[in-house]
Amino acid sequence: MQNIKNIIFDYGNVIFLLDFKKLKDGWNSIAISNPDVFFSHGVQDPIFDAFDKGHVTASQFRDFIREKSGHPELQDDEIDSAWNSLLLGVDKGTHETLAALNKKYRTFLLSNINPIHYEYIMNYLKDEFGFESNDHLFEKTYYSHLIGLRKPDSVIFEKVLKENGLKAEETLFIDDIAANLEPAKALGIQTFMMKAPDTVQDFIKREGLL
């Protein structure tokens, strides 16, 4: 990590912890067969890409789940509960680390996300931390469903670089999925792959970024 002036953070499993085993159990609870193929870490049905890009509404997504499960009687809250079951939360001290980094570097959030998860997380941040959003922790936040782009499309990285006048070689991107790092690398961005049990707090300390 050399000459870092800008840091772009993924959200899930970098800042906000996820549990894909809980999600598998959630899908099973509403009769989704082959949950590992339907949606797991790095593997997913095409509906999820469309949902992340805002091309599918929450209502359309829920109707797809009803069809996929063969249970048209499923209620919205049952579907949302299953889908949100992978969302764990933010470790103590992580927000403080991000706030400190935002004072030293230009920091950005770049998340593949959808309306159901977004609503859950915003409510979680307010209930647990009194935050209205993540906006105060970063110079700018990019949520895929709001901008119509998602990783690993290279255009989303080009957008962040161009809009903010960032030099790729001075920028670090942190993500937990290898496929998302490749287009960033191709643009000359420095990258780091976050893998449990490593944490963003440990990484920042280890690399001497604070």
Residue ranges, CATH 1.10.150.240, the chain: 20-86
Residue ranges, CATH 3.40.50.1000, the chain: 6-17+90-206
> Mean pLDDT score of the chain, rounded to an integer?
95
Distance CA 205, CA 76 (A): 42
Buried b (16+ CB within 10 A) or exposed e, 144-165: bbeeebbbbeeebbeebbeeee
Q: What is the mean pLDDT of residues 42-47?
A: 78
Asked whether the beta carbons of 174 and 203 are under 8 A apart, the reply is yes
> Could you write out the DSSP letters of every residue in the chain?
--S--EEEE--BTTTEEE-HHHHHHHHHHTT-SSHHHHEETTEE-HHHHHHHTTSS-HHHHHHHHHHHHT-TT--HHHHHHHHGGGEEEE-TTHHHHHHHHHHHSEEEEEE---HHHHHHHHHHHHHHH--S-SGGGSSEEEEHHHHT--TT-HHHHHHHHHHHT--GGGEEEEES-HHHHHHHHHTT-EEEE--TT--HHHHHHHTT--
**Confidence (pLDDT) at 35:** 76
pLDDT over threshold 90, residue 36: no
pLDDT digits (tens, 9 = 90+) for 149-197: 999 999 999 999 999 999 999 999 999 999 999 999 999 999 999 999 9
pLDDT digits (tens, 9 = 90+) for 80-93: 999 999 999 999 99
Domain 6-17+90-206 has CATH 2.40.340.10: no
What's the pTM value of the predicted model, to 2 decimals? 0.94
CATH code matching the domain that covers 20-86, chosen among 1.10.150.240, 2.30.42.10, 3.20.20.60, 1.25.40.10: 1.10.150.240
- Quick one: how far is CA 155 from the chain centroid? 17
Q: What percent of the chain has pLDDT over 70?
A: 98
